[in-house]
Structure 1
Amino acid sequence: MGKAEERNGPYSQDPEASTIDSQEIVKPIRSWKGYIWDTWELPKDQRWLLFKVDAFILTFASIGYFLKNLDQYNVNNAFLSGMEEDLGMYGNQLVTSVSIWTVGYIIGQIPCNLLLTRVSPRWVIPSLEVGWGIATICLSAVKSYKALYALRFLVGVFESGFYPGIHYMLGSWYTPREIGKRAMMFWLAGYIGQLFSGFLQAAAYQNLNGVHGLAGWRWLFVIDGILTLPLALLGYLFFPNLPQNGKKTWWTTEEEHKLSIRRMEAVGRVGKEKWTKAKAKRILLSWHTYLLPILYILWNNGGPQPAMGYWLKSFNSHPAPLPGTTFTVPQINNLPLTSTGILIVIAFIWGWLSDGPCRGARWPFIYAGAIITTLFTVLMLKMPLYENIYGRKVVYWLSQFGFGAGPLILSWINEICSDDTEKRALLVAMGNDLAYVVQAVAPNFVWKTTDFPAARKGYIYSLVLQALLGKFVAEVSGQS
């Protein structure tokens, strides 16, 4: 078997045929319909294939990430809704619980993503969901913050392979004119989950607090876990194999299976290759290995931590910083959600512009995000906490306006590393993994719970990372 067949399976084409495929399969966008949504301009066979792929990959992944973020961020909503008092978390226990979750998240990411190059995602991804769903339900029964720590670690381990694994899957099915929007939609589904978590906690607090002897914050964990498990079970049936692993997914025809392989070949996206010393050395000495993950590390850690909830809760302190102004638990949960809603709209526009009018360019949006985030970080650092109350609310609401670059960074890695699927899987996971290594450590020093709502050290830290992000974007765009 030749090199191309070994890497790409039995449907690989010769170089001349690949050129023809490239011209026929990946055409430039030519009409307004293609700019609005890429499949509207594609031939019928590709349009129907991508309809299926969107239905079974993008829909499953987006709902799964929505639920993952419910299960990841519910601890913050629970903390603001009674868990702090019930478990005696009056120090930095919340930050510690987040750091412990992050340790579990770090451990599993790279092994899980490399596993996807060898074991079908149809079995790996749903199994991870089952694990974190069960662990989340168990959180409803914790009696101390030490038990909370142990279960949060397990949630982190099971959630670790989902986000980088889905980005690797998107890079295995979609071309550069398609991947940016879909990566953004997938990522934004998680933000919708984070947004919905606040509404869900408010509803649980108002309607279920005390039912069957459980506090409202405990019901949040029960509901989140129960929502997760049915989707995980459906994943075993509907989630696909990789196009080039030689095994057809049941909901594609034989012709669609061959087409999915040719589409990836047309953009230089290769199949699996055996690990050898030469391959390991090639990856180790590649500039990709060192510069690309740094982009995601800086982006992930450079955004200011959400502080509006702590600021709102601080009005209820004794002595009150502004006598006569207080906020209820539902208000503390719901008012910060406006910033998430704004981010969802702006980030989707960025993904659409990046794929279409900007012809797959990723770096301008990463660079612009760093500039915008720097501006709002300076405002949050310099504005008085308790003078212009409405003005500070607006700044908090707009503070995530520039934070939409993350999915485009991972799409960029998928595209730059098209010619080596193992390196692609490794670097997508490495960027996310090392970002969380920093996140496991840094908040204990720069984003201490006791420093909120002022958090001066944290905002200065964000400004430094945004400056570095701009520098590294320029470096990578010059190299690629």
Structure 2
Amino acid sequence: MTRDSESAGVDVGSKGKTWKRHVWDSLDKSPKERRFLLKLDLTLLTFGCLGFFSKFLNQTNLTNAFVSGMKEDLDMFGNELNYAMTAFTVGYIVGEIPSNILLTRIRPSIYIPALQVIWTVLTFCLAAVKNNTQLYAVRFLIGLAEAGYYPGLQYMIGSWYRKDEMAKRACILNASGSIAMLFSGFLMAAVTSLGGRGGLPGWKWLFIIDGVISFPIAIGSFFFLPDLPQNAKTRVFSEEEIALAKHRMVLEDRKPRAPFTVAKVKMVVSSWHIWLLSLYYIFISGTSGTPIFPQFLKYHENPKFTVQQINLYPSGVFAVQAFSAVVYAWISDTVLKGRRWPILLFGAVLNLITWASLAAWYIPDGWKWTCYYLAGQHVGLSGIVFTWANEICTDDTEERAIVLATMNTMVGVVATWLPLIVWQQIEAPRYRKGFITASCMGAVCLILIPLMKVLQDKETIK
């Protein structure tokens, strides 16, 4: 224990790093810090993942509901599904940055669970919509409520965990979203048996079940989700544990809250942090949500796949997302000793190979299938990207909140128009323009990552 930690009256660190840290980072830390981290994981990480799971379940199930009777019941035979998805995206874009700014001023233990309750109630409302106008309005409001959740949780992870702990938690959070997408199809299959019960079709029961899953998670978050170290109450942690949390952030040079000023806003906007991190996240996430694999299976001729196979086989992509997220996190935190850029560079190279191969198109079927599955690994990089952003912006909590929200917002902005240009339905399954665009994005990432590393090193030297 260092002299600084002794003077602070807290117990931080261990006598030496051992092989145990490669299994889990807290195993070679002091008993007090280990107990603190266990409690933090059981509250922040557990309820964060449960909330993210329910968020993605709700977000994904719109498409499942559409193909399970909502299309016919609401007369959605044109572009109504696209409009409903766009309404959600617009709400999401509008809400992200203001929400993360509010999170620096309102207790997260109140604010984040309140968002969960709002989107849960609105999910129940989806089961009651009678026309497309109501559907668009409710989806916009759900997007607005859900906007602050993911960047808010990443901000909280960066406010509680140290450098050797963050990536694993951020990537476990991401993996919970991939698991929700994997679970969604199976839930829809199970809910179809409820069709007709209470006079409601199966797709309405799907939204009701979504709400039933989300509601207890939201209520539990009110009781167990912690605030930030600087405004935490003893409801979740003891005074000694709060002192420990604060000192851990001092050791990481992570600054507490400060007033918003014009000078601070100018500093955030003029820094490379917000621009390059957002640009990189756009390029690494630019293909998310594009149904390229199902379309390939749908148009495949020999053999011809059944509808069940078309829905089942792409589920493996979500498994790749979850697996890669966890593997990348462990390698970054342990093997690479907290360095993020090598993992991101590896992922960018893999992305470039994957998309360039699909752009070439006339490749062996086995390699084509491999590329479709490997495309999921870029989602596993998201937690690493947000961890690096937390570290780069460590000395200004307001900048950190704004940068994290802006990164996620800009991906949403691009997602509203890019698919209309390069991922057009009429070009399925080859998507030549889309795959070439994705390849170019991967190539640019190979430049952005070393550039950001050099700029970060210059700031560290200063």
TM-score normalized with structure 2 length: 0.91
Report how far residue 91 of structure 1 moved: 4.3
Report how far residue 314 of structure 1 moved: 4.8
Name the counterpart of 2:460.
none
Cα distance in 2, alignment partners of residues 19 and 431 from structure 1: 39
Residue 171 (structure 2) pairs with residue 184 (structure 1): yes
SS of 1:396's partner is helix
Residue 224 (structure 2) pairs with residue 238 (structure 1): yes
The 1:43/1:408 distance shift into structure 2, 3 A limit, reads same
SS of 1:25's partner is coil
Residue 140 (structure 2) pairs with residue 153 (structure 1): yes
Report how far residue 293 of structure 1 moved: 2.1
Which of 249, 258, 273 is the aligned partner of 1:273? 258
**Contact conserved, 2:5 with 2:12, CA < 8 A, in 1?**
no
Name the counterpart of 1:437.
413
The 1:397/1:68 distance shift into structure 2, 3 A limit, reads same
Paired amino acid for 2:47: F
Report how far residue 456 of structure 1 moved: 2.7
Residue 31 (structure 2) pairs with residue 52 (structure 1): no
**Contact conserved, 1:66 with 1:190, CA < 8 A, in 2?**
yes
Residue 430 (structure 2) pairs with residue 454 (structure 1): yes
Residue 194 (structure 2) pairs with residue 216 (structure 1): no
Paired amino acid for 2:446: G
Report how far residue 85 of structure 1 moved: 4.4
Report how far residue 76 of structure 1 moved: 2.3
Cα distance in 2, alignment partners of residues 36 and 20 from structure 1: 31
**Contact conserved, 2:354 with 2:375, CA < 8 A, in 1?**
yes
Paired amino acid for 2:276: L
Cα distance in 2, alignment partners of residues 210 and 454 from structure 1: 40
Name the counterpart of 2:349.
371
Paired amino acid for 2:95: G
Cα distance in 2, alignment partners of residues 93 and 395 from structure 1: 31
- 43-52 or 341-350, larger mean C-alpha shift: 341-350
**Contact conserved, 1:122 with 1:240, CA < 8 A, in 2?**
yes
Name the counterpart of 1:414.
390
Name the counterpart of 1:334.
312
Report how far residue 182 of structure 1 moved: 0.5
Cα distance in 1, alignment partners of residues 139 and 293 from structure 2: 24
Name the counterpart of 1:6.
none
Which of 248, 260, 268 is the aligned partner of 1:263? 248
- 272-281 or 335-344, larger mean C-alpha shift: 272-281
Name the counterpart of 2:443.
467
Cα distance in 2, alignment partners of residues 448 and 78 from structure 1: 23
Which of 101, 118, 121 is the aligned partner of 1:114? 101
SS of 1:157's partner is helix
Paired amino acid for 1:414: N
Q: CA RMSD of the aligned region, Å? A: 2.7
Which of 156, 179, 183 is the aligned partner of 1:169? 156
**Contact conserved, 2:13 with 2:30, CA < 8 A, in 1?**
no
Report how far residue 29 of structure 1 moved: 6.8
Report how far residue 193 of structure 1 moved: 0.5
Please list the CA deviations of residues 238-277 of structure 1 after superposition, one character each: whole Å capped at 9, or x if unmatched.
11111012x4241211111111100001110111111233
Cα distance in 2, alignment partners of residues 202 and 383 from structure 1: 33
The 1:335/1:141 distance shift into structure 2, 3 A limit, reads farther
Name the counterpart of 2:328.
350
**Contact conserved, 2:316 with 2:373, CA < 8 A, in 1?**
yes
Cα distance in 2, alignment partners of residues 182 and 34 from structure 1: 14
Report how far residue 404 of structure 1 moved: 1.5
**Contact conserved, 2:286 with 2:411, CA < 8 A, in 1?**
yes
- 98-107 or 156-165, larger mean C-alpha shift: 98-107
- 172-181 or 425-434, larger mean C-alpha shift: 425-434
**Contact conserved, 2:164 with 2:338, CA < 8 A, in 1?**
yes
Which of 130, 138, 159 is the aligned partner of 2:125? 138
**Contact conserved, 2:175 with 2:323, CA < 8 A, in 1?**
no
Pairs within 5 Å for 1:71-110: 71-110=58-97
Report how far residue 304 of structure 1 moved: 7.2
Please list the CA deviations of residues 85-104 of structure 1 after superposition, one character each: whole Å capped at 9, or x if unmatched.
44444444433322221110
- 153-162 or 363-372, larger mean C-alpha shift: 363-372
**Contact conserved, 2:182 with 2:315, CA < 8 A, in 1?**
yes
Cα distance in 2, alignment partners of residues 250 and 419 from structure 1: 28
Please list the CA deviations of residues 193-230 of structure 1 after superposition, one character each: whole Å capped at 9, or x if unmatched.
1110111112223x223434433333222211211111
Residue 229 (structure 2) pairs with residue 253 (structure 1): no
Which of 289, 306, 314 is the aligned partner of 2:291? 306
SS of 2:338's partner is coil
Cα distance in 2, alignment partners of residues 154 and 109 from structure 1: 13
**Contact conserved, 2:325 with 2:383, CA < 8 A, in 1?**
no
**Contact conserved, 2:356 with 2:435, CA < 8 A, in 1?**
yes
- 411-420 or 139-148, larger mean C-alpha shift: 139-148
- 338-347 or 226-235, larger mean C-alpha shift: 338-347
The 1:202/1:380 distance shift into structure 2, 3 A limit, reads farther
Residue 47 (structure 2) pairs with residue 69 (structure 1): no
**Contact conserved, 1:351 with 1:408, CA < 8 A, in 2?**
yes
Cα distance in 2, alignment partners of residues 129 and 303 from structure 1: 24
Report how far residue 295 of structure 1 moved: 2.0
The 1:477/1:26 distance shift into structure 2, 3 A limit, reads farther
Please list the CA deviations of residues 58-82 of structure 1 after superposition, one character each: whole Å capped at 9, or x if unmatched.
0000011011000111122233444
Report how far residue 396 of structure 1 moved: 2.7
Gaps of 5+ in 1: 1-14, 316-320
Name the counterpart of 1:37.
24
TM-score normalized with structure 1 length: 0.87
Percent identity at matched positions?
38
Report how far residue 449 of structure 1 moved: 3.9
Please list the CA deviations of residues 279-306 of structure 1 after superposition, one character each: whole Å capped at 9, or x if unmatched.
3333233222322222222222145723
- 215-224 or 423-432, larger mean C-alpha shift: 215-224
Cα distance in 2, alignment partners of residues 128 and 396 from structure 1: 35
Cα distance in 2, alignment partners of residues 28 and 89 from structure 1: 64
The 1:357/1:113 distance shift into structure 2, 3 A limit, reads same
Cα distance in 1, alignment partners of residues 19 and 406 from structure 2: 37
Cα distance in 2, alignment partners of residues 122 and 75 from structure 1: 28
**Contact conserved, 2:5 with 2:11, CA < 8 A, in 1?**
no
Gaps of 5+ in 2: 457-462
